[in-house]
Amino acid sequence: MASGKLSPRQKMINMMYLVLIALLALNISNEILKAFHLMEVSFNKANQALTDKNKALMDAFKAAEDDPAKAARTKRWAEKAREVQRISDEFFKKIEVYKKDIEVAAGGRKEAEPGETGLREMSKGDDMEGHKHYLGTDDAKPGKGDELRKLIDDTRVKMLKVLEGVKDDKATIALFDKNTAFRVEDFKDDNGAQKTWQRDVLGKSPVAGVMAMLTKVQNDCKSLETDILTKLAENIDASVAKFDKTAALIIAESTNVMEGSQFKAKVALMAYNSTAATKILVNGQTVNVVDGIGEYTATASGVGTHKVEAKIETIDPNTGGPTFVSAQPIEWTSFKSTATISADAMNVLYIGLDNPMSISVPGVTPGNTTVTPGPGLTLTKSGEGKYIAKVTGGKETSISVSAKMPDGTSKRMGEPMKFRIKSVPKPVAQLGTLISGSYNKGEIAMQQTLYAYLDGFVFDGVKFTITKYRVIFMPKRGYMEDRQVSGNSAAAIREYANKAKTGDMLVIEGIRANGPGVVDKPLNPITYTFK
C-alpha cells in the first residue's frame, strides 16, 4: 500500500482490495464471502442505530422549538438540522438504488430457508461482472461508478456547508471534513501505480464485497449526519450571552399545597456576574434576603390558585447602575388531600428490575397510608414512604393509595395511578473502552474484557454480562481464523491482536449476554480494523 497518513476507511479499503485481488485467481472461498455478508448485515444494523439516534436528536430540536423560552434561538438551527437530514436521506435512497440495481445485475440474493429471516447472502457472491458492467468500471469513459464517486463527494460538501454559521464554523467544518470517513480516496498499490476507488476497488471486487462497501458508505453518511446534528444542537444555547445578563427565579418547594399547610418558595437572582441580590420584592412586599436568596412563605387557605410575582434589585451589567429584574410569574395551587405517587428512577416500571418508588399523601404520615398494588405488581417497603416495585410482565399496572383520616375512617386518595410496563432495552457490545472502528493493535491488545452496556438508559446500576461470543480474525494476507469464547474475557481477541498487521480486521459476533430478567440475549456484532 502507499505510505503516509491514511484514514481508517481507506486502510480498510486498501486491505480489502489487496486480499480480493490475491484471491481472484484461486476462486474466493465461501468463508470470505460469508464474512463480507456479515459485514453488510452489521453495517445495516449500525445504520438503523444511527437512524434512531438522529431521530432522537430531531425530536429534541422539535421540543426546543415548542419551548417558548428557546423557540426564537432554536429556529435557525432546527431548519439547518432538517436540511442536513434531507440531504442525508436523499443520499441514502440513491445508494439504495445502486445496491438494488447491482443486486439484480449479479443474480439477486439466495432464497430464505423455511423460518429464516433477515438479509440473505448474494446468490453469486463471487460474481465479478454484473456490477462491473453496471458501474461501467471496465470502460475508459465515465460511467455510473464515476457518478457514484461524485455523488459521495458532493453530498459530503453539501452536508458540511450546513455548518456555516455555527460557532467557529470554518474550524469546525475543517475538523469535520478531516475526521469523517464519508469520502472517496484513491491509493497506490505496492508498485506505486495509482488506483481509483470506483474502478480498482469496486470494479475488481466480488459483488458481496461491493454490497458491504456501499452499505458502509451509507453508514459513514449517517455518522456524519449525527455529528452535524449534535453540533447544531450545541449552538442553540451557544448563542445565549454569557456574563452579561441577569434573571430572577422563583423556586417553589411545591406548587400544590394541602389546605392548612404552608406554601414555601425561594426567590434567587440568577446572575452570571455573581452579583448578589440586595432587595427582593414578592407581590410588592419586601422579603428577607440571606446570601442573595430571598425566602417567601404563604399559608394555604381553601382551594384555589395563587399568583406570585417577584422583582430583584441588582446591577445593570451595561450601565453599572441599579436595576430591577422581574421573574416570570408563577402560580401555586392549594387543595384538599390527595395521593402523590412517583417513580424515583423513571416514569415506567421495568421487568426484572428493582424499581424504587416514593408513595406519600401530603399532610398524612406514612404510618397512616395504605398502598395497594395492581395486577402483576409487588411492592416491598424500603423506608418511610419508600418502596421497591417489581413487575414480571404485562403492559400496564396501577397503584392505589388510601389514607387514615383523623376520625379513624379510610379514604381513597384520588384515582389509581397507572404505570406502563417495559422490558430493559437491548444492550450494546463493546471491547473494553473501544467502540467499533479502527485502532492501533496496541490499543486493541490492551483491552481485557468484552462488555455489554446500555447506551443512554436512564435507570442507573443496570448491568449485563457477556456470556459467550465468536471472534473472527480476517488478515489481509493469509486465512481467516475464528474462535468460540465462553465468558467475557478478551484473551482470545488479544492473541489475534498481537499477531495482527495493518489492515487486518476482527469481527466479533454471536454475542450473548445475561441481564435483569434476560438470559442469553443476542447482541449486535462489532468490528475492529487494525491501523
CA distance 214 to 219: 9
Report the run of H or E that residue 379 belongs to, with start and end: strand 377-383
Q: Domain check: are 123 and 169 in the same one?
A: yes
Grid coordinates representing 425 are 432495552
Our CA angle for 472, 476, 482, nearest 5°, is 15
Q: Does residue 445 sit within a domain?
A: yes
CA distance 465 to 478: 33
Q: Which of 473, 439, 434, 438 is closest to 451 using CA atoms?
A: 434
One-letter amino acid at 68 equals P
Q: Domain check: are 494 and 410 in the same one?
A: no
Q: Domain check: are 325 and 378 in the same one?
A: no
The overall pTM is greater than 0.85: no
Answer yes or no: are the C-beta atoms of 504 and 477 closer than 8 Å: no
CA distance 205 to 203: 6
Q: Domain check: are 432 and 402 in the same one?
A: no
CATH label of the domain that carries residue 313: 2.60.40.1930
pLDDT score for 363: 62
Q: Domain check: are 213 and 69 in the same one?
A: yes
Answer yes or no: are the C-beta atoms of 382 and 340 closer than 8 Å: no
CA distance 353 to 335: 35
Report the run of H or E that residue 14 belongs to, with start and end: helix 8-24
Q: Does residue 464 sit within a domain?
A: yes
CA distance 157 to 286: 59
CA distance 393 to 377: 9
Q: Domain check: are 330 and 344 in the same one?
A: no
Q: Does residue 3 sit within a domain?
A: no
Answer yes or no: are the C-beta atoms of 265 and 251 closer than 8 Å: yes
Identify the DSSP state of 393.
S
Q: Which of 137, 315, 165, 318 is closest to 228 using CA atoms?
A: 165
Q: What are phi and psi of 414, to 5 degrees?
A: 75, -170
Beta bridge partners of 330: 308
Report the run of H or E that residue 412 belongs to, with start and end: strand 410-412
Q: Does residue 46 sit within a domain?
A: yes
One-letter amino acid at 527 equals T
Burial 165-174, CB ≥16 within 10 A → b, else e: ebeeeeebbe
pLDDT score for 243: 43
Strands 386-391 and 355-360: antiparallel
Q: Domain check: are 330 and 347 in the same one?
A: no
Q: Domain check: are 276 and 132 in the same one?
A: no
What residue ranges in 168-309 does DSSP mark as E strands?
A: 187-188, 194-195, 246-252, 256-258, 262-271, 279-282, 285-286, 289-290, 293-299, 304-308
pLDDT score for 7: 54
pLDDT score for 3: 42
- pLDDT under 50: residue ranges of the chain: 1-4, 24-26, 239-245, 258, 260, 271-276, 316-321
The number of folded domains in the chain is: 4
Residue at grid coordinates 427565579: 249
Q: Domain check: are 31 and 180 in the same one?
A: yes
Report the run of H or E that residue 481 belongs to, with start and end: strand 481-486
Q: Does residue 65 sit within a domain?
A: yes
pLDDT score for 264: 72
Q: Domain check: are 35 and 156 in the same one?
A: yes
Give the sign of the dihedral formed by CA 54, CA 56, CA 57, CA 61. positive
Distance of CA 501 to CAs 386, 440, 488, Å?
57, 10, 24
Boundary-marking domain end, from 283, 301, 335: 335
Q: Does residue 162 sit within a domain?
A: yes
Report the run of H or E that residue 377 belongs to, with start and end: strand 377-383
CATH label of the domain that carries residue 399: 2.60.40.10
CA distance 75 to 328: 22
What residue ranges in 181-245 does DSSP mark as E strands?
A: 187-188, 194-195
Q: Domain check: are 328 and 409 in the same one?
A: no
Grid coordinates representing 236 are 442553540
pLDDT score for 352: 83
Burial 396-421, CB ≥16 within 10 A → b, else e: ebebbbbbbeeeeeeeebeeebebeb
Residue at grid coordinates 384555589: 304
Answer yes or no: are the C-beta atoms of 510 and 470 closer than 8 Å: yes
Q: Domain check: are 347 and 331 in the same one?
A: no
Which residues touch 498 (CB under 8 Å, ≥6 apart)? 441, 445
Grid coordinates representing 508 are 466479533
Boundary-marking domain end, from 422, 452, 468: 422
CA distance 508 to 436: 10
pLDDT score for 449: 92
Domain that holds residue 65: 8-238
CA distance 486 to 15: 30
How many beta carbons lie within 10 A of that of residue 377, not counting itself? 19
Boundary-marking domain end, from 238, 268, 293: 238
Q: Does residue 279 sit within a domain?
A: yes
Q: Does residue 135 sit within a domain?
A: yes
pLDDT score for 23: 52
pLDDT score for 326: 82
3-class state of residue 253 by DSSP? coil
